[in-house]
Amino acid sequence: MNYSPNKQVLDYVSHVHFVGVIGPTAVGKSTLIERAMDRDPDMHLVCSTTSREPRPGEEDGIDMHFRAEAEMRERIALQSYMTALELFGNLYATAPEDCAEHGISIMPMAADAVPMFRALPFRSFQLVYVLPPSYEVWHERIAGRATNELDKRLAEASKSLQFALDAPDVIFVLNDDLDIATESFIDALHEQPIDSVQQASYRELAGELLARISA
């Protein structure tokens, strides 16, 4: 699908401070986002829209907005979404009204989605990559969550790690101690000065994780 938003959408997002949060499955992206929003009222979660059916445990307006395909196609024709694409027979989109015009809009996303958001004229755009403290810790988390999808999760992790290593503007947050990670996450979202030496060590860890996954 070759999609471009209309002028009204572009005008709206030009006021938005947007942060994309990426990282391997089970690394703690959602936990850090929830804790950051609990501590800082300027943080706002961006909820995507999809035409697929809810999975067990998913709630409309919390996990995603679940909408009829016909309704979504009408909006796509009007170009009134920020982004829109079709994957495996389902539509996925992001509506501008789900971004806050004030404060910081946060959205967990796959690395594949980043180029679509980079192309939008946000007031500011940041990428935060959440790292596990080690391969062993991360592997325990995903193995305990869904062993039947382990190969798929490893492939997704490999892709996201390679993306982060190739993207010089990514800010890494290490999710080891949750309280420290939350503070680092909030600092990154508020564009506080970063420790370049620490970031270099995190980038090295990302490379080590990629090598372990690819071995």
| Count of structural domains within the chain | 2
Instruction: Write down which residue in 98, 120, 140 finishes a domain.
Output: 98
Helix ranges restricted to H, 41-170: 69-78, 114-118, 135-145, 150-166
CATH number for the domain that contains residue 63:
3.30.63.10
Contacts of 123 (CB under 8 A, 6+ apart): 13, 14, 15, 16, 17, 18
Instruction: Kindly state whether residues 55 and 42 are assigned to the same domain.
Output: no
Instruction: Kindly state whether residues 38 and 82 are assigned to the same domain.
Output: no
Coil, strand, or helix at residue 84? strand
pLDDT in tens, the chain (215 residues): 789 999 999 999 999 999 999 999 889 998 999 999 999 999 999 999 999 999 888 899 988 999 999 999 999 999 999 999 998 899 999 999 999 989 999 999 989 899 999 999 999 999 999 999 999 988 888 776 655 567 777 888 999 999 999 999 999 999 999 999 999 999 998 888 889 999 999 999 999 999 998 87
DSSP for residue 51: S
Instruction: Look up the domain containing 145 and give its range.
Output: 10-46+99-214
Instruction: Kindly state whether residues 113 and 200 are assigned to the same domain.
Output: yes
Instruction: Kindly state whether residues 91 and 190 are assigned to the same domain.
Output: no
